[in-house]
Amino acid sequence: MREVNVKDLIPIVKKLCIDANYYIGEDIISKIKEFKEKEESPTAINVLDILLENYELADKEQMPICQDTGVAVCFVELGQDVHMVGGDFTEAINEGVRQGYEDGYLRKSMVDDPIIDRINTKDNTPAIIYTDIVSGDKIKITIAPKGGGSENMSEVKMMKAADGIKGVVDFVVDRISRSGGNPCPPIVVGVGLGGNFEQSALLAKKSLLRSLTEKNPDPKWAKVEDEILEKVNNLGIGPQGLGGRTTALGVHILSKPCHIASMPVAVNVQCHAARHKSAVI
């Protein structure tokens, strides 16, 4: 059994919040450059150039890529041989978020009550925390700040087995078509298949953590990803919805077994500022 003081997690979470918001992944930069080569619309090429310039400026000026520095979504893989001491684990994660968003000059975007009061909590807490218990004595923490504009274009549909793969592809493409310029294209499309209602949504979100330069390890799903990507980019939406060939940079699928009666499909839309950073403790 390895003891870990939860207070040691605070500076790590703080740094992950700041780094994720300031520094875009190399995979996004290389994909945007790759798509720019194939882009036909001059307006679209101009937008892609501005995005590349913005990533560079954010890094140089130490400012967040986007003013929407998101909900702090926190994925934890907790080794079962770890014993947490020194305080409350959830509170430690929230304290790290609080410090990161304050000291990193990140926007505080959380309201306390979703419907009636909607009063800003002023420190971007609470984080949304998912914990998986895994083997070993390490803790892996990933912070994936998620903006509201793209999240709002996401959807879960409980389909029937008879809808088949065609039904899934059509639903995902239609969801992106209806999103148009709203989610800040070029986007990454996260697709969760199977599990149940809530697990499909979580799979879709987790799929966004995969690097854009990594192929789906299952050739069956890699093929479906390519098919959806081609259809989405044929919609003509383009960067920012102003028209063009670059609507999505990638489609990521994660799947799980499901009930004989069900076929849950979730689409989680991610803007071009696909931010996530991880640390292992």
| Contact residues for another protein, defined by CB under 8 A | 40-41, 43-44, 47, 50-51, 53-54, 57-58, 61-69, 105-109, 118, 120, 122, 148-149, 152, 180-184, 234-238, 240-245, 271-273
147/264 with CB nearer another protein: 147
* Minimal distance, residue 201 CB to another protein, in Å: 21
Angle at 132 between CA 130 and CA 133, to 5 degrees: 145
In terms of CB distance, is 64 or 264 closer to another protein?
A: 64
Q: Which is nearer to another protein, 67 or 80 (CB)?
A: 67
Shortest distance (Å) from residue 17 CB to another protein: 13
Asked if 85 and 5 touch (Cβ cutoff 8 Å), the reply is: yes
Min separation Cβ 30 and another protein, Å = 17
- CA dist 13 and 16 (Å) reads 5
Nearer to another protein, 183 or 192 (CB): 183
Cβ-Cβ contacts under 8 Å for 249 (sequence gap 6 or more) = 28, 31, 32, 35, 186, 187, 188, 212, 272
Nearest distance from C-beta of residue 74 to another protein, angstroms:
20
How buried is 54 (Cβ within 10 angstroms: 0-12 exposed, 13-18 middle, 19+ buried)? middle
Residue 29's closest CA among 58, 69, 72?
58
Q: Which is nearer to another protein, 79 or 180 (CB)?
A: 180
Q: How far is the CB of 268 from another protein (least distance, A)?
A: 16
Work out the end-to-end distance of the chain between its first and last CA atoms, rounded to an integer number of angstroms: 14
